[in-house]
Amino acid sequence: MVVTRAGEQAGPLAARLEALGCEVVLCPLIRVEPLDDAPIDPEPYDWVVVTSPNGAAELARRLVSPPRRLAAIGPGTADALRARGLEPDLVPAVSTQEGLLAELPRPPGRVLLAAAEGARRLLVDALGADFVPLYRTVELRPERPPEGDLAVLASPSAARALAATGARIPTVAIGPQTAAAARAGGLEVAAEAETHDLDGLVAAVSRLLATV
């Protein structure tokens, strides 16, 4: 089982996969680089929206004060915010920007989307939200393609990076955007998480293992 996550996020996923009986191979395929140290003032905004655990860490580092209201795209992002003393006011049932958009009150007022450079900007298009890039994701190139029976993918960038290695390992994707990126790179998507978070990813692997 190839885990493509990097840094502190790899450990919890690897431990849970090992608990399922998997032999885990760590092969980080992305690196996160902060973009700025400039303070972020949330005061002008009715809602601040963060879309990933990495974004939660960077937002917390740069905030000058707690946001009026804070939305996290999913449970993993919400946990990352709570670990830094920020309690989200909204975590949608469906962990996508579409799910978040469906649950934001109308009208939401002024919204700030805080995410990765190059992230989807559905909320910008739908609500006229402002956008602040917090970090960039750099795809890594290992010397050799990773080897394993299955690879777990937690982001579209990880899917693209795995495809670029030339590996042709069946994959489990955390959500539809990641699955689409994997297929676009020629990778087989053997399973997709029903909930787009760590729990859903592990559950998808468990279901898949039960069929073999």
Domains of the chain (ranges, CATH numbers): 2-31+138-210 (3.40.50.10090), 38-133 (3.40.50.10090)
- Does 28 sit behind a cis peptide bond, omega within 30 degrees of 0 on the bond before it? no
Question: Is there a contact between 88 and 72 (Cβ–Cβ < 8 Å)?
Answer: yes
pLDDT band for 95, please (50, 70, 90 cuts). Answer: confident
Collapsed DSSP state (helix, strand, coil) of residue 25: strand
Q: Which helix or strand (DSSP H or E) is residue 75 part of? A: helix 75-82
Q: What is the pLDDT of residue 69?
A: 98
Q: DSSP string of 141-163?
A: --SS----S-EEE-SHHHHHHHH
More confident residue, 127 or 12: 127
Residues 201 and 88: their CA atoms lie apart, in Å, by 22
Q: What is the pLDDT of residue 118?
A: 87
Decide the pairing of beta strands 47-50 and 111-116. parallel
Question: Is there a contact between 133 and 117 (Cβ–Cβ < 8 Å)?
Answer: yes
Q: Cα-atom radius of gyration of the chain, to the nearest Å?
A: 17
Residue indicated by tokens 């972020």: 40
Largest pairwise CA distance in the chain: 53
Q: What is the pLDDT of residue 8?
A: 64
- Counting residues of the chain whose pLDDT is more than 70, the rounded percentage is 98
Q: Which helix or strand (DSSP H or E) is residue 192 part of? A: strand 189-192
Q: Check pLDDT > 80 for residue 9.
A: no
Average pLDDT, the chain: 92
Mean pLDDT of 171-193: 94
Q: State pTM to two decimals.
A: 0.82
Q: Which two tokens stand for residue 15?
A: 């431990």
Q: Check pLDDT > 80 for residue 184.
A: yes
